[in-house]
């Protein structure tokens, strides 16, 4: 009887990277209009890849806080969030 192989950290980060649908870089630091970084848009593909890799690494290691709560947790077993979507397509 075989046991399921444990996912390596590298594989886990790669799985996160594959599941990134949208990346909006930066803080969005304007009080009137929604601003979007366009550097990556016009840069070489390798720059876009580097951005995705950096974000995936951050997603894998940063402590998690669920929106609408004050609790911070390391991983797993997250509470239900306070907000959901209705009739909204994935942001693709």
Partner 1 sequence: MIVRYEPWGAWAKTESPPALVALDRDAVRAIGLDGGAVWTDAPRASAPLEAHVAVTSRCAAGCTGCYLDARPDGDEPPQETMVSALDDLAKAGVFTVAFGGGEPTTREDLDVLAREARLRGLTPVLTTSGLGLTPEKIARLRAFAQVNVSYDGGGEEYARVRGFDGARHAEGAIQALVAAGVRVGVNIVLTRATWGSLDATLERARALGACEAQLLRYKPAGRAASLDYLAQRLTPEQARELGPKLRAIVERGVPGFRIRIDCAMVPFFSADPSIDASTLARFGVLGCEAGDKLVALRVDGRIAPCSFAAPTGLHASDVESRREDAELSTWRAWNASPAEPCASCSLRAVCRGGCKVVARFVDGAHGPDPECPRVRAHREAERAHDTTTGSGTSCTPNALSTPT
Count the residues of the shown chain that bind partner 1, applying the rule CB under 8 A: 65
Regarding 8 and contact with partner 1 (CB under 8 A), the answer is no
Query: What's the min distance (Å) between Cβ of 3 and partner 1?
Result: 19
Regarding 53 and contact with partner 1 (CB under 8 A), the answer is no
Select from 55, 78, 56 the least CA-distant residue to 67.
78
Alpha-carbon distance of 31 to 74, in angstroms, equals 32
Alpha-carbon distance of 60 to 20, in angstroms, equals 12
Regarding 40 and contact with partner 1 (CB under 8 A), the answer is yes
* Residue 8 CB coordination number (10 Å): 9
Binding footprint of partner 1 on the chain (CB under 8 A): 12, 15-43, 48, 51, 54-55, 58-60, 62-70, 74-92
């Amino acid at each position: 009887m075989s046991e399921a192989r444990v996912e390596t950290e590298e594989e886990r980060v790669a799985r996160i990277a594959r599941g990134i649908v949208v990346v909006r870089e930066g803080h969005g630091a304007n009080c009137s209009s929604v601003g979007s970084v366009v550097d990556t848009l016009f840069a070489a593909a390798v720059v876009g890849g580097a951005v995705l890799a950096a974000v995936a690494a951050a997603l894998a290691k940063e402590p998690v806080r669920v929106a609408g709560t004050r609790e911070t947790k390391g991983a797993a077993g997250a509470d239900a969030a306070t907000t959901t979507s209705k009739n909204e397509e994935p942001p693709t």
